[in-house]
Amino acid sequence: MSEQRIVEVVYIKSSLTEVWDALTNPDLTERYWFGTRIDSQWTVGSKVLYIRNGDITDEHVVLAVDEPHGFSHTFKPVFGEFQSEAPSRVTVALDENAGVVRLTLVHEDFAPESKVFPACRQGWPIILSNLKTLLETGTPLPPFAFPAQ
C-alpha cells in the first residue's frame, strides 16, 4: 500500500494574524468548518476539541505551537467507525509574503487500513477552500454535498 499522507497548500489573500485567528478562534472555525467549533488553549499538551451541535466529535492533543506561524496536533475522531482508530498527526505551517499567506497542511501517520484517511483526503480541500473564501470575501461557501468517492 502506498503511504497515506495528505498535503494541501492554499494561498490566502490575508495576514498571518488573520489566518491564525481563523484557525484558532472557535467563533470563526464554526463558520468555515460547517458548524464545527474548534476549541483549545493552543498550548503544548492542551486538548483540541471539535464540537458540533454540542457534541465532541474529535479530541486531539497539541504537540507544538509557533504562533502565528503554525502548530501540530494529534488527530483523533471519537465518533462512529472512526473512534477505534489510533491518532494521526496534523501539522499546519503559515508563511506570509506581500499580503498573501501560504497555508501548508500535512496530515500523516494514519493507521494501516485507516478509515480516517479517505474521509480527511476528501474533507481537507473543502475545509481549506471554505477558510480561504471566508477570509477573502467575508462569507463562507454555501452548504453543499459531493457524492461519495
CATH topology of domain 6-137: Alpha-D-Glucose-1,6-Bisphosphate; Chain A, domain 4 (3.30.530)
pLDDT of res. 3? 84
Look at 26 and 147; give whichever has higher pLDDT.
Answer: 26
- Mean of per-residue pLDDT scores for the chain: 94
Residue 141: per-residue pLDDT: 86
Q: What is the rounded distance in angstroms from the CA atom of residue 86 to the CA atom of residue 29?
A: 24
List pLDDT tens digits, range 101-127: 999 999 999 999 999 999 999 999 999
What is the DSSP secondary structure assignment for residue 113, as one 8-state letter? T
Reported pTM: 0.92
Task: Give, in order, the Cα–Cα distances in Å from 20 to each of 76, 117, 142.
Answer: 22, 25, 23
The long-range contacts involving 33-36, CB below 8 angstroms and separated by at least 24 positions, are: 33/127, 33/130, 34/130, 34/143
Q: Which residue ranges make up each domain of the chain? A: 6-137
Q: What is the pLDDT of residues 120-149, one digit of tens each?
A: 999 999 999 999 999 999 999 887 765 555
Handedness of CA 60, 36, 135, 145 (dihedral sign): positive
Give the three cell numbers for residue 39.
476549541
- DSSP letter string, 29-55: HHHHTTTEEEEE--STT-EEEEEETTE
- Is-contact 67 75, C-beta < 8 A? no
**What does the block give as the cell for 91?**
501539522
Which tens digit of pLDDT belongs to each residue from 29-83?
999 998 999 999 999 999 999 999 999 999 999 999 999 999 999 999 999 999 9
- The pLDDT, as a whole number, for residue 147 is 56
pLDDT higher than 90, residue 1: no
Give me the long-range contacts of 20-24 (CB less than 8 A, separation at least 24).
Answer: 20/67, 20/68, 20/94, 22/131, 22/134, 22/135, 23/71, 23/92, 23/131
Helix (H) or strand (E) holding 16: helix 16-24
Tell whether the model's pLDDT for residue 4 goes beyond 50: yes
Q: How confident is the model at residue 22 (pLDDT cuts 50, 70, 90)?
A: very high
Is the predicted pLDDT of residue 96 greater than 90, yes or no?
yes
